[in-house]
Structure 1
Amino acid sequence: MKRIKRHLSVFIAVAFIAGIWGCVEPTNSSMVTSVAQAKSRDKEEKSPYEQDVKPLTTLDCARCHYSVFEIIRDNGGKHQLDCQFCHETFHTYRPDKNWSDVVPQCTTCHGEIHGPTFLDCLSCHGNAHMPIAGLTNMTTLEKDCANCHTAQSAEVTQYPSAHSKVACSDCHHTQHGYKPDCVECHEQPHTDYANNDSCMGCHPVHKPLEIRYTEETPNGVCATCHEEINSRLISTHKKHASLQCAYCHQETHGNIPQCQDCHGLPHSKGMLDKFNGCTDCHFDPHALVLPGH
């Protein structure tokens, strides 16, 4: 009995110690690991003066120049480049140094893109960080439009119209490149086809009286000005009534075709010699009514 009690006491003691060791050991192991990791970090983390300096990124610049970053992000266009692409040197401004010696020169990349006359880029492009959206000073641009837009300027001058009497900025207002809707000025156009594609299908914008059209132009467009002629045409049952106006009056407004272009010589030479022309008998080509009919 005593032997059993002795063995039981030993067993309990061993179990007690084992239990304590089981609770303590993980904690000690975790502590050992943490200490080891801390020592490892101490070895890895060098002093700033022991590390290589990495080049600034655009996002680094944005931390201080965020308003500029926003402008480029939203309206930068082709200027959405790394900051250092243009600003090869930076933070070098001194009051005694000319500002133009510090900021990058537009001509470095763009050359004399608008010729030798326009070298003060910022006089038109108000903000280099948004080169197109910044073209808003239309008063400044107006007097120089013809220097770049020579073809358009020549058309307006060569083909006088109401458009010749207005300034470029009266139509192309707000910003450079703005193209207005025709109905901004022409509030009551002469057709129901009131959109830019329809208007300019006949009226070239800088020479609007030089009317052009295709054979598919609806007769209703012509009828808005030529109402009486259209009425005569649709009242007849002759073959001409089935044609588009532009089929005969091709390409150029006011073009009057020769009957022979389509009909050739439908009568004998002897008969034709008795008359001055087709309309001596057929009178109106839009009605084709013969005498006594």
Structure 2
Amino acid sequence: MGMTALVAGAADPKLTLGNTDCVKCHTAAPDAIAANGGAHKTQVSCQDCHAGHPPTVKKIIPACSQCHSGKPHYSLSACLRCHNNPHTPKIIKLANNITDECLTCHTQQIVKLKQVKSKHSALACSFCHNTHGKIPQCTQCHKPHSPDMTAVDCKRCHQAHMPTAVTYPSDTANKMCASCHKKAFEMHSKTDTKHKGVNCVTCHKDKHKTIPSCQGCHGVPHPARMMARFTKCGDCHNIAHDLNRWDAGTLKQTGADKDEAIKLPKKSKKK
């Protein structure tokens, strides 16, 4: 009786079917729409898309263009290739090895991938983003530099589409650098110079492996004669993380003779 009434209702314009009629048989679709239906939940009814019911209506699956007209936002031959469940249109599962379609909208990402070559450059977009809008955890593929690092820490220094162009935010903690640069961190922590109170990123700012110019902070701290002889601060201060410590024979290595050699304070020659 129930199905007969539904079919009769579809054929008889005097009878109007509602969502409550459809859910008597079709239980899965309403649950999906209720959870993730988007505009399909709030702005349309079953009858807006499915204009009838077999046998009186044969084509009950509508074309997306029936409502979604205009220029498509992806260069795909069929909307359902990404929106594979029309009842949950915003949950987009991407097929394997998709890249070109993604670039229809996401143009800057490919520019970055080509600008700084890395292993990421050869991967398809859908290798990482198998669901549209999903940002994967870096630790799915990559081991953290140290046990106390989390996936959140990765993105503080590494850009996803330019992972080898490492940059640091100004509030990066020294312990982040210490996870790799253990010797430098230990030396910096024990020094009695003013550098002890300076964060790693104050000197090594902007990007990884930046070697700063000492003059940027210190200007020309020594007499002209001394600076003329030792043109680089590192000629004497060759261990930047502990400026009062240098290797034995530093002056001899620079070529200074007895008349021009600069006598260094005894306390400076500590090991």
2:62 match: 103
The Cα shift of 1:246 comes to: 0.4
1:213 match: 168
Q: Does 1:195 find its partner at 2:150?
A: yes
Superposed CA offset, 1:223-252 (max 9, x none): 222223223323321111222110111121
Which residue identity lines up with residue 188 of structure 2 in the other structure? L
Which residue identity lines up with residue 154 of structure 2 in the other structure? C
Which residue, 130, 145, 148 being the options, matches 2:102?
Answer: 145
Alpha-carbon RMSD: 3.0
Larger radius of gyration: 1
1:76 match: 37
Work out the number of aligned pairs and report it.
235
The Cα shift of 1:169 comes to: 2.9
1:128 match: 86
State how far apart, in whole Å, the 2-side matches of 1:198 and 1:184 are. Answer: 14
Q: Does 1:274 find its partner at 2:235?
A: no
2:137 match: 181
Unmatched runs of 5 consecutive residues or more in structure 2: 1-12, 246-263
Q: Name the SS for the 1:132 alignment partner.
A: coil
State how far apart, in whole Å, the 2-side matches of 1:85 and 1:118 are. Answer: 27
| Contact kept? 1:124, 1:141, Cα under 8 Å | no
Which residue identity lines up with residue 158 of structure 2 in the other structure? H
1:223 match: 178
State how far apart, in whole Å, the 1-side matches of 2:69 and 2:186 are. Answer: 60
Superposed CA offset, 1:154-184 (max 9, x none): 22222112222333333223x3333221211
Superposed CA offset, 1:10-30 (max 9, x none): xxxxxxxxxxxxxxxxxxxxx
The Cα shift of 1:204 comes to: 0.7
State how far apart, in whole Å, the 1-side matches of 2:192 and 2:199 are. Answer: 14
| Contact kept? 2:116, 2:162, Cα under 8 Å | yes
Q: Kindly tell me: are residues 238 and 69 of structure 1, through their superposed partners in 2, closer, same or farther at Cα, counting changes over 3 Å?
A: same
TM-score w.r.t. the length of structure 2 is 0.73
State how far apart, in whole Å, the 1-side matches of 2:116 and 2:236 are. Answer: 38
Q: Which has the higher helix share?
A: 1
Q: Kindly tell me: are residues 73 and 218 of structure 1, through their superposed partners in 2, closer, same or farther at Cα, counting changes over 3 Å?
A: same
Which residue identity lines up with residue 221 of structure 2 in the other structure? P
State how far apart, in whole Å, the 2-side matches of 1:119 and 1:218 are. Answer: 49
The Cα shift of 1:84 comes to: 5.9
State how far apart, in whole Å, the 2-side matches of 1:217 and 1:61 are. Answer: 57
1:155 match: 112
2:198 match: 243
State how far apart, in whole Å, the 2-side matches of 1:109 and 1:124 are. Answer: 15
Aligned pairs for 1:249-288 within 5 A: 249-288=204-243
| Contact kept? 2:172, 2:201, Cα under 8 Å | yes
The Cα shift of 1:123 comes to: 2.0
Q: Kindly tell me: are residues 192 and 106 of structure 1, through their superposed partners in 2, closer, same or farther at Cα, counting changes over 3 Å?
A: farther
| Contact kept? 2:174, 2:199, Cα under 8 Å | yes
Q: Kindly tell me: are residues 85 and 281 of structure 1, through their superposed partners in 2, closer, same or farther at Cα, counting changes over 3 Å?
A: farther
Superposed CA offset, 1:119-176 (max 9, x none): 521122112111122x224227455333332222222222112222333333223x33
Q: Kindly tell me: are residues 57 and 233 of structure 1, through their superposed partners in 2, closer, same or farther at Cα, counting changes over 3 Å?
A: same
Superposed CA offset, 1:271-292 (max 9, x none): 4233212222322221112655
| Contact kept? 1:181, 1:195, Cα under 8 Å | no
Which residue, 84, 87, 98 being the options, matches 2:49?
Answer: 87
State how far apart, in whole Å, the 1-side matches of 2:219 and 2:15 are. Answer: 85
| Contact kept? 1:232, 1:286, Cα under 8 Å | yes
TM-score w.r.t. the length of structure 1 is 0.68
